[in-house]
Amino acid sequence: MQTALAALPGVRHVDVDFEKKQALVTVTKSVDSQELIAALEEEGYGGSVKDIRHAKDESESSEPSDETADTPPLPGLSVDQGHQDSTKTTYSSPSFAEHIQISVSLDHDVLRPGDSFRIAVVLDVDDGWHIYGNPLGPGIGLETIVSTQEADGFDFEPARYAPAHRADQDFGEAGKTWVWELTGRTVQFLSGKVRDDVPPGEYPLTIDVTAQVCMEEACFPGKATLPLPVTVVTTDAPSHAAHSELFESFDKAHTP
């Protein structure tokens, strides 16, 4: 319940008392409070919604309020509201970036028109934390999704995801269920082909990753955007395999 509510758009923070079956949901953008309360009541929960949105004329201060200072930003924030590391990877919040590191690598040093290629999306999750597989399973959480932004001259196939392990979820009186989880280092894959008419040059591909990194009741849904510069050479130029160790598990990965 808590994880599912926290993943909803516009929800900043959730407190659930499973024993009393009460939930406090803090929102920061347009959310139908009555609809949210009705959904809680359908599950047998009493609830309230704290709206911490501020009208533009209430305050000109740029300082965070006490209500929001200790809660993580929502996924999908613009670059200046998020966190960018030394590799120019942009994370939607520092809290998300603190517990997961993401990198991307191409399987060749250069590509030629007509070449097929693969991209390894490496997710390193902190010890004691986990993310969710794709598919998620019947339980509660945010499945991991990797994708490419559209790029002229390149065609992409559906992503392939690493096998995950089953983990039980126990919500007390609310019941038990299970999900697929990933821990430590996992590699997800994207693949595609360079179109035959692409001229030589440098091409900036962009990879998007959404995930939810969790440890017990602490969960941070987020998004990372990663640049992947690709060099296209002429059809008669050599192209060499690269980062082969990252692609050893490619055949074990699956589409959802």
Rounded Cα gap, residues 78 and 70, in angstroms = 19
Residues in Cβ contact with 63 at an 8 Å cutoff, skipping those fewer than 6 apart: none
Q: For the domain that residue 203 is a member of, what is the CATH number?
A: 2.60.40.1250
Pair 27, 122 in one domain: no
Higher-confidence residue: 71 or 131?
131
Residue 211, pLDDT > 90, answer yes
pLDDT at position 43 is 63
Pair 32, 107 in one domain: no
Q: Is 53 exposed, middle or buried (0-12, 13-18, 19+ CB in 10 A)?
A: exposed
Pair 41, 106 in one domain: no
Residue 60 within a domain: no
Pair 19, 89 in one domain: no
If one counts the domains in the chain, the total is 2
Residue 61 within a domain: no
Residue 66 within a domain: no
Pair 23, 93 in one domain: no
Pair 46, 88 in one domain: no
Rounded Cα gap, residues 33 and 29, in angstroms = 11
Rounded Cα gap, residues 219 and 166, in angstroms = 18
Rounded Cα gap, residues 58 and 155, in angstroms = 49
Pair 130, 194 in one domain: yes
Residue 165, pLDDT > 90, answer yes
Average pLDDT over residues 218-247: 97
Residue 63 within a domain: no
Pair 127, 217 in one domain: yes
Query: Both tokens of residue 98?
Result: 């603190």
Residue 62 within a domain: no
The model's pTM is 0.69
Query: Both tokens of residue 75?
Result: 């996924």
Query: Both tokens of residue 99?
Result: 């517990």
Pair 33, 84 in one domain: no
Higher-confidence residue: 24 or 235?
235
Structural domain harbouring 1: 1-53
Residue 59 within a domain: no
Rounded Cα gap, residues 106 and 66, in angstroms = 44
Instruction: Encode pLDDT of 116-164 as tens digits.
Output: 999 999 999 999 999 999 999 999 999 999 999 999 999 999 999 999 9
Pair 137, 98 in one domain: yes
Residue 215 within a domain: yes
Higher-confidence residue: 216 or 250?
250
Percent over 70 (pLDDT), the chain: 66
Residue 71 within a domain: no
Higher-confidence residue: 244 or 21?
244
Pair 3, 84 in one domain: no
CA–centroid distance for 26 within its chain:
21
Residue corresponding to tokens 């929102």: 27
The confidence band for 5, taking pLDDT boundaries of 50, 70 and 90, is low
Contact 119, 106 (CB under 8 A): yes
